Amino acid sequence: MSEQLAENIKKAENYLQRYKDQATGHFINGKSDSGSEGRTFENVTPVDNSSLGQVVEGTAEDIDKACTAAEEAFTDWSRLSGKERKKVLHRFADLIVVRAEEIAMVESMDCGQPIRFMKAAAIRGSENFRFFADKAPEAANGQSLHQDEHLNYTKRTAIGPVGVITPWNTPFMLATWKIAPALAAGCTVVHKPAEFSPLSAMILAEVSKEAGLPDGVWNTVNGFGDVAGKKLTEHPAIKAIGFVGETITGSYIIAQGAPTLKRAHVELGGKNPVIVFDDADFDRALDAVVFMIYSLNGQRCTSSSRLFIQNGIKERFLTALKERVSKIRVGHPLDPETEVGPLVHTSHFEKVLSYVDAAKEENATVAVGGEARKDLGSGNYFAPTLFTDASNQMKIAREEIFGPVLTAIAFDNEEEVISMANDTNYGLTGYVWTKDSGRGIRMAEAIEAGMVWVNSENNRNLPSPFGGVKQSGIGRDGGDYSFEFYMETKNICVAHGTHTIPVLGK
Ligand code: NAD
């Protein structure tokens, strides 16, 4: 064990002790809350599946209490000036930076993500707050739309208390990405974190208090999706649900919210293509292909899990790829050297492993990996895996595996690859590598996805729209798109006093 890993483990143990000493509860109306029934569930670390402590299982009553608090806090928070909200949200960002090390370590131990990525995730979380803090004063802005004898202008107002339901893959970053714009818009929030990774959400709740958010503006209820999550989507006080998670769950969210006519924004799964043409910048494309599936344990919605490689460079590219994949460092998530950590949970680990059998059954080649890394102990360690000789019809090319697993498929020409890339239920992202700029544009326009990168891995631009098409989701986050979701637009029409009013009964 390296000195650095030993030191990190020690630090993490200190940060994690409190979750062992006392069950992690909810945060409702500015106070920690141990739940109406006191039932708990065990939270384990993927490092060795040992306990990180108990977590309170939210009930319908707990959700009701949180939603009522959010409803009562809404009027004052939404009426606070944008400038004041901006100040509080900047304080929030500052406090995240102060606790960045703790957040990164807790997150790594809770969901298995390597510390090298989690350090950045904590800072990204604070950037999300800063970005939307700066936008808070302009959130109400609308348009002025002129007619000959009338002036129309629009303004936006916060929609009301909202529910935010997040997954386990990068829980801290995603929670900030969904909640910061809601607060900047003037909404109050009830957050339901994923049951596999509840810890960093409690740090956020504490930061909300310290930053000076009034009681009831931020509420967190832990627990399971089919009880706490479901009740949140059904609660009449909640006007909109921001959801990130699996496609099937997204459809439940919409159905559960329908009787109360809830607005829903669902960011769902993906089976994203990366297309590498013969003329691509070989080294840059290789770096990006490796990064976009093996970073974050492959547990990222935007990962490029289908590699389409043109036949002219196929042999050379796959040879280089195999070498790189076989050298990826799997290990303890707190080891700064680790590139792939353990998968979040044994159930997810089993699911990812099952695709190795699926690949073999359909005669794809397991070119690298394809097995548990038992040599690393009792955690959910899985060897980075590359399937070759695959077709787009195979299960490994159709289903979201959500692990460090890449399926490579050969192609001849543009037309063929567009057809294969789009032959999927999903449509979140696409990536194209070519030095021919015209082809880059043609491909970007032809790929059915909410976001396409040409000659780049996924990079972040906070004002840009983020979201998917087809079964990858409905709605967009980012910049003003987030405000469009969390706010209502009102049109106000004022006459110049010159137009003719139709006369009746005279
Ligand atoms: P999941 O759908 O199983 O769970 C997500 C959240 O929904 C959890 O908090 C869960 O408790 C809750 N939930 C489950 N059933 C519910 C119900 N009936 N009502 C209300 N809430 C319910 O997803 P996951 O396994 O935690 O996350 C992985 C998935 O998230 C992958 O499919 C991934 O692609 C997707 N994801 C998408 C994006 C994106 O931006 N498109 C980003 C990250 C992750």
The CATH number of whichever domain residue 227 belongs to comes to 3.40.605.10
Q: Residue 260 CB: number of other CB atoms within 10 A?
A: 13
Residue 49 lies in a domain: yes
Residues 449 and 479 in one domain: no
Residues 169 and 203 in one domain: yes
Q: What is the pLDDT of residues 272-292, one digit of tens each?
A: 999 999 999 999 999 999 999
Q: What is the pLDDT of residues 71-128, one digit of tens each?
A: 999 999 999 999 999 999 999 999 999 999 999 999 999 999 999 999 999 999 999 9
Q: How many domains does the chain have?
A: 2
54 pairs with which residues across the strands?
42
340 pairs with which residues across the strands?
330
Residues 331 and 435 in one domain: yes
**What share of the chain has pLDDT > 70, as a percent?**
100
Q: What local confidence, expressed as pLDDT, does residue 48 receive?
A: 97
Phi and psi at 289, nearest 5°, equal -60, -45
C-alpha 88/C-alpha 209 separation (Å) is: 10
Reported confidence tier of residue 175, pLDDT bands at 50, 70, 90: very high
E strands, 287-337, are 304-310
Residues 263 and 287 in one domain: no
Residue 402 lies in a domain: yes
Q: Considering only CA atoms, which of 306, 128, 304 is closest in space to residue 207?
A: 128
Average pLDDT over residues 393-420: 98
Q: What is the pLDDT of residues 32-67, one digit of tens each?
A: 999 999 899 999 999 999 999 999 999 999 999 999
Q: What local confidence, expressed as pLDDT, does residue 38 receive?
A: 87
Residues 445 and 360 in one domain: yes
Q: Which domain holds residue 324?
A: 273-454
Q: Among this protein's residues, is 67 annotated catalytic?
A: no
Residues 137 and 73 in one domain: yes
Q: Which residue among 111, 301, 400, 448 is the active-site one?
A: 301
220 pairs with which residues across the strands?
27, 191
Reported confidence tier of residue 495, pLDDT bands at 50, 70, 90: very high
Tell me which residue has tokens 């509840």: 198
The secondary structure of 163-208 as a DSSP string is EEE--SSSHHHHHHHHHHHHHHHT--EEEE--TTS-HHHHHHHHHH
The CATH number of whichever domain residue 323 belongs to comes to 3.40.309.10
Residues 297 and 198 in one domain: no
Q: Is 90 exceeded by the pLDDT of residue 255?
A: yes
Q: What local confidence, expressed as pLDDT, does residue 1 receive?
A: 87
Residues 316 and 229 in one domain: no
Q: Which residue among 267, 400, 448, 457 is the active-site one?
A: 267
Contact status, residue 122 vs residue 207, Cβ threshold 8 Å: no
Q: Residue 258 CB: number of other CB atoms within 10 A?
A: 12
Residue 441, both tokens: 């544009």
Query: What residues flank ligand 1, with Cβ below 6 Å?
Result: 165-169, 174, 192, 194-195, 224-226, 229-230, 233, 244-246, 249, 252-253, 256, 267-270, 301, 400, 402, 428, 468, 472-473
- The DSSP H or E segment spanning 66 is helix 60-79
Residues 325 and 256 in one domain: no
Residues 21 and 95 in one domain: yes
| 302 SS3 class | coil
Largest CA distance in the chain: 94
Residues 242 and 349 in one domain: no
Q: How many CA atoms lie within 13 A of 167 on its CB side?
A: 20
CA-proximal residue: ligand 1, atom 20 (nearest): 229
Average pLDDT over residues 408-426: 98
Contact status, residue 265 vs residue 477, Cβ threshold 8 Å: yes
3-state helix, strand, coil in the chain (%, to 5): 45, 20, 35
The secondary structure of 1-25 as a DSSP string is --HHHHHHHHHHHHHHHHHHHS-B-
d(CA 259, ligand 1 centre) in Å:
21
Average pLDDT over residues 428-433: 98
Q: Among this protein's residues, is 301 annotated catalytic?
A: yes
Q: Considering only CA atoms, which of 486, 503, 487 is closest in space to residue 242?
A: 486
Q: Is 90 exceeded by the pLDDT of residue 228?
A: yes
Residues 22 and 167 in one domain: yes
Average pLDDT, the chain: 98
- The amino acid present at 80, given as its one-letter code, is L
Q: What local confidence, expressed as pLDDT, does residue 498 receive?
A: 98
